[in-house]
Amino acid sequence: MKTMLKNLAVGAVAALGLASLSPVAKAEDPIRIGSFLSVTGPAAFLGDPELKTLELYVHQLNENGGLLGREVQLVHYDDSGDASKARTFVTRLLRQDKVDLIIGGSTTGATMAAVPVIEQARVPFISLAGAETISTPVKKWVFKMPQSDRQAARRVLTDMKERGLTRIGLISGTGGFGASGRNVTLEEAKAMGIEVVADETYNPKDTDVTAQLTRIRNTDGVQAVLNFDFGQGPAIVTKNYKQLGIELPFYQSHGVASDSFLKLAGDAAKGLRLPATALLVADTIPDSDPQHGVVTGYKKAYEDRYNSSVSTFGGYAYDGFQLAVQAIKQAGSTDPAKVRDALESIQGYVGVTGTYNLSAKDHMGLSYDSFRILEVKDGHWTLVE
């Protein structure tokens, strides 16, 4: 049929590398970066800063002459956190908009729904979602920016162990992020000899979790509590935690690593710890730190432009975009296979989230110590040495 022949023809041309034989004609075309993010809906606090970051840096790149002498165009659709919509929009990006590369997927569900379509279309994809399944096992065309939730769990549990806390209570949201976080925490704890003595959940939209926290508090021998979730739920958990007067050491996940969490939770957040990237402590990070320049630069650019504070999630989009730019430069073209190979070969890229060492075996490229343990002191994030 007609469409198939057209696809075949395009594929054949690309395969023979004929496209690169006519650079003059191509220089006119913009480079098209596709993106699908949860800009509205329950995961809006992920998608919103991610989109803002992409728009900011695409604009900046074009101001500075674009990429490979071509303009960069961002084609974006809002999946509102719905996996089925994400799949439709990815199909649109690939079949209709014919984008050269995709950055997106705020949530794991949206990312995973898009993966089969993307793998088949053979276009490089940089996911901004957290769960381990995205990059383990490695999928040829799929890369992932955030550390896995398993690494976050391991980082927290390591800190607990160093403080001699080996019997813990876990409370997690029933959404994708919380449920996946709960699973990996249970597994990692077992491997590290930490006992999870209480295991409670709540709906991310809940307005009161004192019943669950009471159960944890009344469990014999519990020494610390970890709340694994993102969004406003953890702020409610934190408030209830203080309201019940629980004195045990309290941990959150990287899912609330933003200043807006502190604003919501108020003084109830005092003393809690979480794993986060250097971005949150950009103001106090020593100049000698390799990430110093990049985190302060991103923070300033974002906050000047949008008048709201940076979050870890926007940082993923920053890193994803910079890696994409670097890979396209390195490949010298937008040929998908070359860009993919270039992405896979990136070593030692110092980003907002951490230092990326990508390889054929590792499409995420961060080690777990890119997470730093922060503690809330006087209403601010501070580095725990």
Partner 1 sequence: MFSEFFQFTFSGITLGAIYALVALGFTLIYNASHVINFAQGEFLMIGGMGTVVLVGAGLPLPAAMVGALVLATVAGILLHRLAIAPARDADVVTLIIITIGASIFLRGLAQFFWGKEYHALPRFSATESLSIGGATLLTQSLWILSIAVVLVVALAVFFSRSKLGKAILATSMNKDAARLAGIKTQVILGVAFGISALLGAAAGLIVTPITFTAYDVGIMLGLKGFVAAAIGGLGSSTGAVVGGLLLGLSEAYTAGYISSDYKDAVPFVIILAILFFLPNGLFGSRAAERV
Partner 2 sequence: MKKTILMSPYGGLLLLTLILALMPLAVSNDFHYDLLTKICLTATVAVGLNLLVGYAGQVSLGHAAFYGAGAYASAILTGQYTLSPMLALLSAAAGVGVLAWLVGRPILHLKGHYLSMATLGLGVIAAIVLNNEEQLTGGPDGIGLPPLSLFGHELSVFGEYQFAGLTFTGVELWYLLAAAVLVVAVLLALNIIDSPLGRALRALHGSEIAAQVAGVDTAKYKLRVFVISAVYASIAGSLYGHYSGFITPTVASFEHSIELITIVVLGGMASTFGVIIGAAILVLIPQFLTDFQELEMVVFGAILMAVMIFLPRGLLPSVLQRLQRGAQ
Binding site for partner 2 (CB under 8 A): 1, 3-4, 7, 39-40, 77-78, 82-85, 87-88, 91-92, 94-96, 108-109, 112-113, 115-116, 120, 131, 133, 174-176, 179-180, 183
Binding to partner 1 by residue 35, rule CB under 8 A? no
Binding to partner 1 by residue 380, rule CB under 8 A? no
Site for partner 1 in 210-269 (CB under 8 A): 210-212, 214-215, 218, 231-232, 235-236, 243-245, 260, 263-264, 266
CB of 253 to partner 2, least distance (A): 16
Which of the stretches 7-15, 112-120, 144-152, 198-206 binds partner 1 when contact is defined by CB under 8 A? 198-206
The amino acid at residue 34 is G
CA distance 318 to 303: 14
The amino acid at residue 132 is E
CB of 127 to partner 2, least distance (A): 13
SS (H, E, C) the chain: CHHHHHHHHHHHHHHHCHHHHCHHHHHHCCEEEEEEECCCCCCHHHHHHHHHHHHHHHHHHHHCCCECCECEEEEEEECCCCHHHHHHHHHHHHHHCCCCEEEECCCHHHHHHHHHHHHHHCCCEEECCCCHHHCCCCCCCEEECCCCHHHHHHHHHHHHHHCCCCEEEEEEECCHHHHHHHHHHHHHHHHHCCEEEEEEEECCCCCCCHHHHHHHHCCCCCCEEEEECCCCHHHHHHHHHHHCCCCCCEEECHHHCEHHHHHHHHHHHCCCEEEECHHHHCCCCCCCCCCHHHHHHHHHHHHHHHCCCCEHHHHHHHHHHHHHHHHHHHHCCCCHHHHHHHHHCCCCEECCCCEECCCCCCCCCCCHHHCEEEEEECCEEEECC
User: Residues 41-80 vs partner 1: string with x where CB under 8 A?
Assistant: xx-xx--x--------------------------------
Nearer to partner 1, 38 or 127 (CB): 38
| Binding-site partner at residue 175 among partner 1, partner 2, none, CB < 5 to 8 Å by type | partner 2
CB of 65 to partner 2, least distance (A): 27
Nearer to partner 2, 83 or 126 (CB): 83
| Binding-site partner at residue 131 among partner 1, partner 2, none, CB < 5 to 8 Å by type | partner 2
Q: Which of 308, 326, 357, 367 binds partner 1 (CB under 8 A)?
A: 308
CB of 236 to partner 1, least distance (A): 7
CA distance 72 to 93: 15
Binding to partner 1 by residue 192, rule CB under 8 A? no
The amino acid at residue 383 is L
CA distance 280 to 374: 9
CB of 203 to partner 2, least distance (A): 9
CB of 191 to partner 1, least distance (A): 24
CB of 298 to partner 1, least distance (A): 20
| Binding-site partner at residue 212 among partner 1, partner 2, none, CB < 5 to 8 Å by type | partner 1
| Binding-site partner at residue 17 among partner 1, partner 2, none, CB < 5 to 8 Å by type | none
| Binding-site partner at residue 270 among partner 1, partner 2, none, CB < 5 to 8 Å by type | none
Rounded to a whole number of angstroms, the CA Rg of the chain reads 22
Could you list the residues that contact partner 1 (CB under 8 A)?
40-42, 44-45, 48, 174, 200-203, 205, 207-212, 214-215, 218, 231-232, 235-236, 243-245, 260, 263-264, 266, 308
